[in-house]
Structure 1
Protein backbone atom coordinates (compact mmCIF):
# COMPACT_ATOMS: atom_id res chain seq x y z
CA UNK A 1 0.00 0.00 0.00
CA UNK A 2 1.00 3.54 -0.31
CA UNK A 3 0.10 6.88 0.75
CA UNK A 4 1.76 7.18 -2.28
CA UNK A 5 -0.68 2.78 0.18
CA UNK A 6 -1.36 -0.49 -1.53
CA UNK A 7 -4.86 -1.87 -1.69
CA UNK A 8 -12.91 -3.27 -10.64
CA UNK A 9 -15.45 -5.02 -8.73
CA UNK A 10 -18.94 -4.31 -10.03
CA UNK A 11 -20.69 -1.20 -8.85
CA UNK A 12 -23.06 -3.42 -6.93
CA UNK A 13 -20.25 -5.12 -5.02
CA UNK A 14 -18.57 -1.83 -4.12
CA UNK A 15 -21.78 -0.13 -3.05
CA UNK A 16 -23.16 -3.09 -1.19
CA UNK A 17 -19.81 -3.96 0.33
CA UNK A 18 -19.40 -0.58 1.91
CA UNK A 19 -22.94 -0.81 3.29
CA UNK A 20 -22.27 -4.10 5.13
CA UNK A 21 -22.94 -3.50 8.80
CA UNK A 22 -19.55 -2.50 10.15
CA UNK A 23 -20.52 -2.52 13.78
CA UNK A 24 -23.39 -0.20 12.83
CA UNK A 25 -21.01 2.56 11.73
CA UNK A 26 -21.31 1.80 8.02
CA UNK A 27 -24.89 0.57 8.20
CA UNK A 28 -28.32 2.15 8.38
CA UNK A 29 -27.81 4.66 5.59
CA UNK A 30 -31.14 6.07 4.46
CA UNK A 31 -29.72 7.40 1.19
CA UNK A 32 -29.88 11.01 2.30
CA UNK A 33 -26.50 11.18 4.02
CA UNK A 34 -23.06 9.73 3.31
CA UNK A 35 -22.16 6.49 5.06
CA UNK A 36 -19.07 8.05 6.59
CA UNK A 37 -19.73 11.52 7.87
CA UNK A 38 -17.18 14.19 8.68
CA UNK A 39 -17.73 17.57 10.23
CA UNK A 40 -18.30 20.43 7.84
CA UNK A 41 -15.13 22.41 7.41
CA UNK A 42 -13.00 19.65 8.94
CA UNK A 43 -9.71 20.94 7.54
CA UNK A 44 -7.25 20.92 10.41
CA UNK A 45 -3.63 21.72 9.85
CA UNK A 46 -1.02 22.32 8.89
CA UNK A 47 0.63 19.11 10.07
CA UNK A 48 4.40 18.85 10.54
CA UNK A 49 6.53 17.33 7.80
CA UNK A 50 8.21 14.05 8.77
CA UNK A 51 11.98 14.19 9.14
CA UNK A 52 12.58 11.01 7.14
CA UNK A 53 12.43 9.69 3.58
CA UNK A 54 9.30 8.01 2.28
CA UNK A 55 9.65 4.71 0.44
CA UNK A 56 8.29 4.32 -3.07
CA UNK A 57 5.60 1.76 -3.77
CA UNK A 58 7.04 -1.15 -5.72
CA UNK A 59 4.24 -3.73 -5.79
CA UNK A 60 1.05 -4.77 -4.06
CA UNK A 61 2.64 -8.19 -3.54
CA UNK A 62 5.98 -8.83 -1.84
CA UNK A 63 5.82 -12.64 -1.75
CA UNK A 64 3.49 -15.38 -2.94
CA UNK A 65 0.58 -16.26 -0.68
CA UNK A 66 1.66 -19.91 -0.62
CA UNK A 67 5.14 -18.94 0.57
CA UNK A 68 3.69 -16.70 3.26
CA UNK A 69 1.29 -19.41 4.39
CA UNK A 70 4.12 -21.93 4.68
CA UNK A 71 5.57 -19.60 7.33
CA UNK A 72 2.11 -19.24 8.89
CA UNK A 73 2.59 -15.49 8.55
CA UNK A 74 -1.03 -14.36 8.79
CA UNK A 75 -1.90 -16.83 11.54
CA UNK A 76 1.00 -15.68 13.70
CA UNK A 77 0.23 -11.99 13.16
CA UNK A 78 -3.46 -12.47 13.94
CA UNK A 79 -2.61 -14.57 17.01
CA UNK A 80 -0.24 -11.95 18.42
CA UNK A 81 -2.70 -9.18 17.59
CA UNK A 82 -5.37 -11.19 19.46
CA UNK A 83 -7.83 -11.00 16.56
CA UNK A 84 -10.88 -13.04 17.48
CA UNK A 85 -14.28 -14.04 16.05
CA UNK A 86 -16.80 -11.21 16.06
CA UNK A 87 -14.26 -8.40 15.85
CA UNK A 88 -14.36 -5.49 13.41
CA UNK A 89 -11.00 -5.05 11.68
CA UNK A 90 -9.63 -2.57 9.12
CA UNK A 91 -6.98 -3.83 6.70
CA UNK A 92 -5.22 -0.65 5.56
CA UNK A 93 -3.10 -1.02 2.43
CA UNK A 94 -4.89 -4.25 1.64
CA UNK A 95 -3.36 -4.65 -1.82
CA UNK A 96 -4.43 -7.94 -3.38
CA UNK A 97 -6.03 -9.12 -0.14
CA UNK A 98 -3.66 -11.62 1.46
CA UNK A 99 -4.65 -10.47 4.94
CA UNK A 100 -8.20 -9.50 4.00
CA UNK A 101 -9.34 -13.02 3.15
CA UNK A 102 -7.64 -14.52 6.21
CA UNK A 103 -9.04 -11.85 8.50
CA UNK A 104 -12.51 -12.59 7.11
CA UNK A 105 -12.09 -16.24 8.07
CA UNK A 106 -10.75 -15.37 11.53
CA UNK A 107 -13.48 -12.88 12.54
CA UNK A 108 -16.22 -15.07 11.09
CA UNK A 109 -19.74 -14.21 10.01
CA UNK A 110 -20.37 -12.14 13.15
CA UNK A 111 -17.28 -10.04 12.49
CA UNK A 112 -16.51 -7.45 9.81
CA UNK A 113 -13.46 -6.55 7.73
CA UNK A 114 -12.99 -3.23 5.94
CA UNK A 115 -10.27 -3.57 3.30
CA UNK A 116 -8.86 -0.31 2.01
CA UNK A 117 -6.25 0.87 -0.46
CA UNK A 118 -5.56 4.18 -2.17
CA UNK A 119 -4.64 2.60 -5.50
CA UNK A 120 -7.89 2.22 -7.42
CA UNK A 121 -6.68 -0.66 -9.60
CA UNK A 122 -5.69 -2.72 -6.53
CA UNK A 123 -8.94 -1.83 -4.79
CA UNK A 124 -10.85 -3.02 -7.85
CA UNK A 125 -8.98 -6.32 -8.11
CA UNK A 126 -9.59 -6.94 -4.44
CA UNK A 127 -13.30 -6.20 -4.84
CA UNK A 128 -13.43 -8.81 -7.60
CA UNK A 129 -11.69 -11.32 -5.34
CA UNK A 130 -14.07 -10.61 -2.47
CA UNK A 131 -17.03 -11.18 -4.79
CA UNK A 132 -15.51 -14.32 -6.31
CA UNK A 133 -14.77 -15.86 -2.92
CA UNK A 134 -18.15 -14.70 -1.54
CA UNK A 135 -16.69 -12.98 1.49
CA UNK A 136 -19.92 -11.50 2.75
CA UNK A 137 -18.35 -10.00 5.86
CA UNK A 138 -15.89 -7.86 3.87
CA UNK A 139 -16.29 -4.32 2.54
CA UNK A 140 -13.82 -2.83 0.05
CA UNK A 141 -13.23 0.88 -0.38
CA UNK A 142 -10.80 3.50 -1.62
CA UNK A 143 -8.91 5.57 0.94
CA UNK A 144 -6.87 8.75 0.64
CA UNK A 145 -3.11 9.13 1.11
CA UNK A 146 -3.30 11.14 4.34
CA UNK A 147 -6.75 10.08 5.53
CA UNK A 148 -8.07 6.51 5.89
CA UNK A 149 -11.58 7.97 6.31
CA UNK A 150 -12.59 5.38 8.88
CA UNK A 151 -15.82 5.83 10.83
CA UNK A 152 -15.30 6.81 14.48
CA UNK A 153 -15.29 4.34 17.39
CA UNK A 154 -15.75 1.39 15.05
CA UNK A 155 -12.66 -0.85 15.04
CA UNK A 156 -11.24 -3.43 17.41
CA UNK A 157 -8.08 -3.65 15.30
CA UNK A 158 -6.55 -1.59 12.50
CA UNK A 159 -3.92 -3.60 10.65
CA UNK A 160 -1.07 -2.03 8.65
CA UNK A 161 1.36 -4.56 7.19
CA UNK A 162 4.53 -3.42 5.41
CA UNK A 163 3.04 -0.09 4.38
CA UNK A 164 3.72 2.43 7.15
CA UNK A 165 7.04 3.51 5.59
CA UNK A 166 5.12 4.52 2.44
CA UNK A 167 2.92 7.08 4.19
CA UNK A 168 3.84 10.59 3.02
CA UNK A 169 2.21 12.43 5.93
CA UNK A 170 2.31 10.08 8.94
CA UNK A 171 1.24 12.70 11.50
CA UNK A 172 -1.89 13.66 9.58
CA UNK A 173 -2.66 10.02 8.76
CA UNK A 174 -2.35 8.89 12.39
CA UNK A 175 -4.20 11.96 13.68
CA UNK A 176 -7.16 11.12 11.43
CA UNK A 177 -6.95 7.42 12.29
CA UNK A 178 -7.05 8.09 16.05
CA UNK A 179 -10.87 8.43 16.44
CA UNK A 180 -11.61 5.20 14.51
CA UNK A 181 -10.64 2.87 17.35
CA UNK A 182 -13.01 1.51 19.93
CA UNK A 183 -11.96 2.30 23.54
CA UNK A 184 -9.99 -0.96 23.78
CA UNK A 185 -8.98 -1.06 20.11
CA UNK A 186 -5.43 -1.41 18.81
CA UNK A 187 -3.45 -0.36 15.76
CA UNK A 188 -1.23 -3.26 14.67
CA UNK A 189 1.85 -2.41 12.60
CA UNK A 190 4.08 -4.99 10.93
CA UNK A 191 7.25 -3.64 9.36
CA UNK A 192 10.93 -4.35 8.80
CA UNK A 193 13.57 -3.01 11.16
CA UNK A 194 15.46 -0.88 8.67
CA UNK A 195 15.40 2.75 7.44
CA UNK A 196 12.26 4.03 5.75
CA UNK A 197 14.10 4.58 2.46
CA UNK A 198 14.86 0.83 2.50
CA UNK A 199 11.20 -0.13 2.98
CA UNK A 200 11.14 -0.43 6.75
CA UNK A 201 10.62 1.66 9.87
CA UNK A 202 12.97 1.69 12.86
CA UNK A 203 10.86 0.71 15.91
CA UNK A 204 11.99 3.78 17.87
CA UNK A 205 10.87 6.08 15.05
CA UNK A 206 7.52 4.29 14.78
CA UNK A 207 6.94 4.67 18.52
CA UNK A 208 7.88 8.34 18.42
CA UNK A 209 5.55 9.19 15.53
CA UNK A 210 2.60 7.37 17.10
CA UNK A 211 3.17 8.98 20.48
CA UNK A 212 3.38 12.43 18.86
CA UNK A 213 -0.35 12.23 18.03
CA UNK A 214 -1.57 10.66 21.28
CA UNK A 215 -1.06 6.91 20.92
CA UNK A 216 0.67 4.73 23.52
CA UNK A 217 2.73 1.73 22.51
CA UNK A 218 1.34 -1.47 24.05
CA UNK A 219 3.84 -4.00 22.72
CA UNK A 220 6.63 -4.61 20.24
CA UNK A 221 8.02 -8.03 19.42
CA UNK A 222 10.06 -9.75 16.70
CA UNK A 223 8.01 -11.21 13.86
CA UNK A 224 10.49 -12.96 11.54
CA UNK A 225 7.75 -14.93 9.77
CA UNK A 226 6.34 -11.57 8.58
CA UNK A 227 9.71 -10.11 7.70
CA UNK A 228 10.33 -7.88 10.70
CA UNK A 229 8.53 -6.95 13.90
CA UNK A 230 4.99 -6.38 15.17
CA UNK A 231 4.04 -3.35 17.26
CA UNK A 232 0.67 -2.45 18.76
CA UNK A 233 -0.65 0.94 19.84
CA UNK A 234 -3.69 2.20 21.75
CA UNK A 235 -5.29 5.64 21.34
CA UNK A 236 -4.93 6.95 24.88
CA UNK A 237 -4.84 10.65 24.06
CA UNK A 238 -5.23 13.45 24.35
CA UNK A 239 -5.00 13.92 20.61
CA UNK A 240 -3.11 17.19 20.10
CA UNK A 241 -4.07 19.99 17.79
CA UNK A 242 -2.11 19.62 14.51
CA UNK A 243 -0.13 22.77 15.30
CA UNK A 244 0.92 21.23 18.62
CA UNK A 245 2.41 18.05 17.16
CA UNK A 246 6.16 17.89 17.71
CA UNK A 247 7.79 15.97 14.84
CA UNK A 248 10.32 13.24 15.57
CA UNK A 249 13.90 13.88 14.51
CA UNK A 250 15.95 11.10 13.02
CA UNK A 251 19.32 10.40 14.53
CA UNK A 252 22.31 9.37 12.40
CA UNK A 253 22.74 5.61 12.34
Structure 2
Protein backbone atom coordinates (compact mmCIF):
# COMPACT_ATOMS: atom_id res chain seq x y z
CA UNK A 1 0.00 0.00 0.00
CA UNK A 2 2.76 2.37 0.94
CA UNK A 3 4.69 1.54 -2.21
CA UNK A 4 1.62 2.27 -4.34
CA UNK A 5 1.17 5.65 -2.65
CA UNK A 6 4.84 6.46 -3.13
CA UNK A 7 4.58 5.60 -6.82
CA UNK A 8 1.53 7.82 -7.24
CA UNK A 9 3.30 10.71 -5.53
CA UNK A 10 6.37 10.22 -7.71
CA UNK A 11 4.27 10.23 -10.88
CA UNK A 12 2.48 13.38 -9.73
CA UNK A 13 5.81 15.05 -9.08
CA UNK A 14 7.05 14.12 -12.54
CA UNK A 15 3.87 15.48 -14.09
CA UNK A 16 4.38 18.73 -12.25
CA UNK A 17 7.89 19.01 -13.66
CA UNK A 18 6.72 18.46 -17.24
CA UNK A 19 7.80 21.50 -19.29
CA UNK A 20 4.97 23.77 -20.36
CA UNK A 21 4.36 24.42 -24.05
CA UNK A 22 5.77 27.81 -25.09
CA UNK A 23 3.26 30.64 -25.31
CA UNK A 24 2.92 31.52 -29.04
CA UNK A 25 2.05 35.10 -28.06
CA UNK A 26 4.95 35.60 -25.66
CA UNK A 27 6.35 39.11 -25.87
CA UNK A 28 3.42 40.50 -27.86
CA UNK A 29 1.28 43.41 -26.65
CA UNK A 30 -1.99 42.20 -25.15
CA UNK A 31 -3.99 44.26 -27.65
CA UNK A 32 -2.27 42.50 -30.59
CA UNK A 33 -2.84 38.91 -29.50
CA UNK A 34 -6.10 38.49 -31.37
CA UNK A 35 -4.28 39.17 -34.65
CA UNK A 36 -1.90 36.91 -36.61
CA UNK A 37 1.80 37.18 -35.86
CA UNK A 38 3.86 38.58 -38.74
CA UNK A 39 5.93 35.95 -40.56
CA UNK A 40 8.92 38.21 -41.06
CA UNK A 41 11.77 39.77 -39.15
CA UNK A 42 11.39 43.33 -37.95
CA UNK A 43 14.06 46.01 -38.19
CA UNK A 44 15.18 47.38 -34.88
CA UNK A 45 14.17 50.95 -34.23
CA UNK A 46 17.06 53.03 -35.41
CA UNK A 47 17.67 56.73 -35.41
CA UNK A 48 14.55 58.84 -35.68
CA UNK A 49 16.36 60.82 -38.37
CA UNK A 50 16.59 58.80 -41.61
CA UNK A 51 19.27 61.08 -43.06
CA UNK A 52 19.98 64.79 -42.93
CA UNK A 53 17.17 67.06 -44.01
CA UNK A 54 19.54 68.95 -46.30
CA UNK A 55 20.37 65.71 -48.16
CA UNK A 56 16.71 64.79 -48.47
CA UNK A 57 15.74 68.22 -49.72
CA UNK A 58 18.62 68.14 -52.20
CA UNK A 59 17.06 64.99 -53.68
CA UNK A 60 13.65 66.60 -53.65
CA UNK A 61 12.23 63.77 -51.55
CA UNK A 62 9.37 65.45 -49.70
CA UNK A 63 8.34 67.51 -52.71
CA UNK A 64 8.22 64.39 -54.89
CA UNK A 65 6.21 62.38 -52.35
CA UNK A 66 3.73 65.19 -51.63
CA UNK A 67 3.19 65.73 -55.37
CA UNK A 68 2.58 62.02 -55.97
CA UNK A 69 0.19 61.94 -53.01
CA UNK A 70 -1.74 64.97 -54.24
CA UNK A 71 -1.36 67.03 -51.06
CA UNK A 72 -3.18 70.33 -51.50
CA UNK A 73 -4.00 73.28 -49.21
CA UNK A 74 -6.70 72.39 -46.72
CA UNK A 75 -5.91 68.67 -46.60
CA UNK A 76 -5.84 66.72 -43.36
CA UNK A 77 -2.89 64.35 -43.07
CA UNK A 78 -1.17 62.10 -40.53
CA UNK A 79 2.59 61.56 -40.35
CA UNK A 80 3.11 58.16 -38.70
CA UNK A 81 6.53 57.54 -37.21
CA UNK A 82 7.18 61.26 -37.49
CA UNK A 83 10.55 61.12 -35.73
CA UNK A 84 12.32 64.46 -35.89
CA UNK A 85 9.57 65.94 -38.07
CA UNK A 86 11.07 66.10 -41.55
CA UNK A 87 7.71 65.40 -43.18
CA UNK A 88 5.64 67.02 -40.44
CA UNK A 89 7.00 70.52 -41.04
CA UNK A 90 6.84 70.21 -44.84
CA UNK A 91 3.32 68.82 -44.78
CA UNK A 92 2.30 71.66 -42.45
CA UNK A 93 3.53 74.19 -44.99
CA UNK A 94 1.88 72.36 -47.89
CA UNK A 95 -1.61 72.01 -46.34
CA UNK A 96 -1.55 75.60 -45.10
CA UNK A 97 -3.52 77.28 -42.33
CA UNK A 98 -6.79 75.58 -43.28
CA UNK A 99 -5.19 72.12 -43.27
CA UNK A 100 -4.17 69.92 -40.37
CA UNK A 101 -1.23 67.62 -39.67
CA UNK A 102 -1.16 65.02 -36.90
CA UNK A 103 2.36 63.78 -36.13
CA UNK A 104 2.55 60.39 -34.39
CA UNK A 105 5.43 58.34 -32.98
CA UNK A 106 5.80 55.56 -30.41
CA UNK A 107 8.96 57.17 -29.00
CA UNK A 108 8.02 59.71 -26.29
CA UNK A 109 11.45 61.32 -26.63
CA UNK A 110 10.91 61.93 -30.34
CA UNK A 111 7.50 63.44 -29.61
CA UNK A 112 9.03 65.76 -27.00
CA UNK A 113 11.71 66.95 -29.41
CA UNK A 114 9.18 67.42 -32.18
CA UNK A 115 6.92 69.40 -29.82
CA UNK A 116 9.77 71.83 -29.22
CA UNK A 117 10.30 72.18 -32.96
CA UNK A 118 6.60 72.72 -33.62
CA UNK A 119 6.50 75.42 -30.93
CA UNK A 120 9.68 77.10 -32.18
CA UNK A 121 8.44 77.17 -35.79
CA UNK A 122 4.93 78.21 -34.69
CA UNK A 123 3.26 75.41 -36.61
CA UNK A 124 -0.24 76.05 -35.38
CA UNK A 125 -1.79 73.50 -37.73
CA UNK A 126 0.18 70.58 -36.21
CA UNK A 127 -0.86 68.33 -33.32
CA UNK A 128 1.09 65.49 -31.74
CA UNK A 129 0.20 62.01 -30.52
CA UNK A 130 2.06 59.09 -28.94
CA UNK A 131 1.00 55.74 -30.38
CA UNK A 132 1.81 52.10 -29.61
CA UNK A 133 3.42 49.36 -31.72
CA UNK A 134 -0.01 47.88 -32.51
CA UNK A 135 -2.13 51.05 -32.69
CA UNK A 136 -1.30 54.56 -33.96
CA UNK A 137 -4.33 55.83 -32.00
CA UNK A 138 -5.70 58.03 -34.75
CA UNK A 139 -9.16 59.62 -34.60
CA UNK A 140 -11.70 57.96 -36.90
CA UNK A 141 -12.74 59.40 -40.27
CA UNK A 142 -10.18 62.19 -40.04
CA UNK A 143 -7.50 61.98 -42.74
CA UNK A 144 -7.23 62.43 -46.49
CA UNK A 145 -3.76 60.91 -46.43
CA UNK A 146 -1.80 58.88 -43.88
CA UNK A 147 1.98 58.81 -44.42
CA UNK A 148 4.37 56.07 -43.33
CA UNK A 149 7.79 57.06 -44.64
CA UNK A 150 10.80 54.78 -44.11
CA UNK A 151 9.18 53.29 -41.01
CA UNK A 152 6.81 50.47 -41.98
CA UNK A 153 9.63 47.90 -41.73
CA UNK A 154 9.79 48.71 -38.00
CA UNK A 155 6.11 47.83 -37.43
CA UNK A 156 6.24 44.63 -35.39
CA UNK A 157 2.46 44.02 -35.44
CA UNK A 158 1.43 44.95 -38.99
CA UNK A 159 -2.02 43.33 -38.96
CA UNK A 160 -3.12 44.95 -35.71
CA UNK A 161 -1.48 48.23 -36.71
CA UNK A 162 -3.15 48.47 -40.13
CA UNK A 163 -6.48 47.24 -38.75
CA UNK A 164 -6.46 50.00 -36.13
CA UNK A 165 -5.25 52.59 -38.64
CA UNK A 166 -7.85 51.93 -41.33
CA UNK A 167 -10.89 53.64 -39.70
CA UNK A 168 -8.92 56.91 -39.52
CA UNK A 169 -9.19 57.43 -43.27
CA UNK A 170 -11.88 59.65 -44.70
CA UNK A 171 -13.92 58.40 -47.64
CA UNK A 172 -11.56 58.23 -50.65
CA UNK A 173 -8.57 58.64 -48.32
CA UNK A 174 -5.35 56.72 -48.84
CA UNK A 175 -2.25 55.44 -47.08
CA UNK A 176 1.15 56.42 -48.48
CA UNK A 177 4.15 54.17 -47.85
CA UNK A 178 7.71 55.06 -48.80
CA UNK A 179 10.29 52.36 -48.15
CA UNK A 180 13.25 50.46 -49.57
CA UNK A 181 13.15 47.14 -51.43
CA UNK A 182 15.31 44.98 -49.20
CA UNK A 183 14.79 42.45 -46.38
CA UNK A 184 12.70 43.60 -43.43
CA UNK A 185 15.56 43.11 -40.97
CA UNK A 186 17.74 45.48 -43.03
CA UNK A 187 15.53 48.56 -42.74
CA UNK A 188 13.39 47.88 -45.78
CA UNK A 189 10.52 45.67 -46.92
CA UNK A 190 10.06 43.76 -50.20
CA UNK A 191 7.12 45.23 -52.15
CA UNK A 192 5.37 41.85 -52.51
CA UNK A 193 5.29 41.46 -48.74
CA UNK A 194 4.06 45.03 -48.27
CA UNK A 195 1.24 44.46 -50.78
CA UNK A 196 0.29 41.18 -49.11
CA UNK A 197 0.11 42.60 -45.58
CA UNK A 198 -2.04 45.52 -46.69
CA UNK A 199 -4.34 43.25 -48.70
CA UNK A 200 -4.81 41.00 -45.66
CA UNK A 201 -6.47 43.90 -43.81
CA UNK A 202 -8.61 45.08 -46.72
CA UNK A 203 -6.51 47.53 -48.73
CA UNK A 204 -5.79 47.54 -52.44
CA UNK A 205 -2.70 48.91 -54.14
CA UNK A 206 -3.62 52.04 -56.11
CA UNK A 207 -0.18 53.17 -57.27
CA UNK A 208 3.41 51.98 -57.12
CA UNK A 209 6.50 53.73 -58.47
CA UNK A 210 10.23 53.51 -57.88
CA UNK A 211 11.87 56.88 -57.51
CA UNK A 212 15.53 57.78 -56.83
CA UNK A 213 14.30 60.95 -55.13
CA UNK A 214 12.66 58.89 -52.35
CA UNK A 215 15.57 56.47 -51.94
CA UNK A 216 13.34 53.51 -52.71
CA UNK A 217 9.72 53.21 -53.76
CA UNK A 218 6.37 54.96 -53.30
CA UNK A 219 3.17 52.97 -52.75
CA UNK A 220 -0.39 54.23 -52.37
CA UNK A 221 -3.15 52.10 -50.82
CA UNK A 222 -6.91 52.56 -50.70
CA UNK A 223 -9.63 50.80 -48.73
CA UNK A 224 -11.14 47.81 -50.54
CA UNK A 225 -14.18 46.11 -49.05
CA UNK A 226 -15.09 45.62 -45.39
CA UNK A 227 -12.48 45.50 -42.66
CA UNK A 228 -12.00 41.82 -41.69
CA UNK A 229 -12.46 40.59 -38.15
CA UNK A 230 -9.04 40.10 -36.50
CA UNK A 231 -9.49 36.31 -36.32
CA UNK A 232 -10.41 36.19 -40.03
CA UNK A 233 -7.19 37.86 -41.22
CA UNK A 234 -5.14 35.47 -43.34
CA UNK A 235 -1.46 36.25 -42.65
CA UNK A 236 1.26 36.42 -45.27
CA UNK A 237 4.27 34.16 -45.37
CA UNK A 238 7.65 34.78 -46.88
CA UNK A 239 8.59 32.62 -49.83
CA UNK A 240 11.67 32.08 -51.96
CA UNK A 241 13.22 35.24 -53.28
CA UNK A 242 11.59 37.39 -50.58
CA UNK A 243 8.18 37.08 -52.27
CA UNK A 244 5.06 36.79 -50.16
CA UNK A 245 1.88 34.76 -50.36
CA UNK A 246 -1.25 34.44 -48.27
CA UNK A 247 -1.06 31.39 -46.02
CA UNK A 248 -3.44 28.70 -47.14
CA UNK A 249 -4.46 30.66 -50.25
CA UNK A 250 -2.55 28.51 -52.73
CA UNK A 251 -1.08 31.64 -54.29
Displacement of 1:114 in angstroms is 0.1
Is residue 196 of structure 2 the alignment partner of residue 208 of structure 1?
A: yes
Is residue 160 of structure 2 the alignment partner of residue 155 of structure 1?
A: no
Deviations 1:53-102 (A, max 9, x none): 00001101121111111111100000001111100000000000000000
Displacement of 1:237 in angstroms is 2.3
Listed as ranges, the gaps of 5+ residues in structure 1 are 1-42
Corresponding residue for residue 193 of structure 1: 181
Deviations 1:198-239 (A, max 9, x none): 111111110100000111110110122111000000112211
- Choose between structure 1 and 2: higher helix proportion: 2
TM-score (norm 2): 0.82
Corresponding residue for residue 88 of structure 2: 100
Displacement of 1:124 in angstroms is 0.2
Instruction: Give the counterpart of 1:85 among 73, 92, 101.
Output: 73
Provide the C-alpha distance between the structure 1 equivalents of 2:81 and 2:128, rounded to a whole number of angstroms. 11
Residues 178-189 of structure 1 mapped to structure 2, 5 A cutoff: 178-189=166-177
RMSD: 1.0
TM-score (norm 1): 0.82
Deviations 1:21-56 (A, max 9, x none): xxxxxxxxxxxxxxxxxxxxxx68510001100000
Corresponding residue for residue 144 of structure 1: 132
Question: Which protein is bigger by CA-based radius of gyration?
Answer: 2
Is residue 211 of structure 2 the alignment partner of residue 223 of structure 1?
A: yes
Higher relative contact order (CA 8 A, sep 6+): 1
Provide the C-alpha distance between the structure 1 equivalents of 2:130 and 2:47, rounded to a whole number of angstroms. 17
For the residue of structure 1 that corresponds to 2:238, the secondary structure is coil
Provide the C-alpha distance between the structure 2 equivalents of 1:189 and 1:208, rounded to a whole number of angstroms. 14
Listed as ranges, the gaps of 5+ residues in structure 2 are 1-30, 242-251
Displacement of 1:179 in angstroms is 0.5
The answer as to whether partners of 2:78 and 2:103 remain within 8 angstroms in 1 is: yes
Greater than 4 Å deviation, 4+ residue runs? none
Residues 1-253 of structure 1 mapped to structure 2, 5 A cutoff: 46-253=34-241
Aligned length: 211
The answer as to whether partners of 2:50 and 2:150 remain within 8 angstroms in 1 is: no
Provide the C-alpha distance between the structure 1 equivalents of 2:32 and 2:108, rounded to a whole number of angstroms. 26
Corresponding residue for residue 9 of structure 2: none
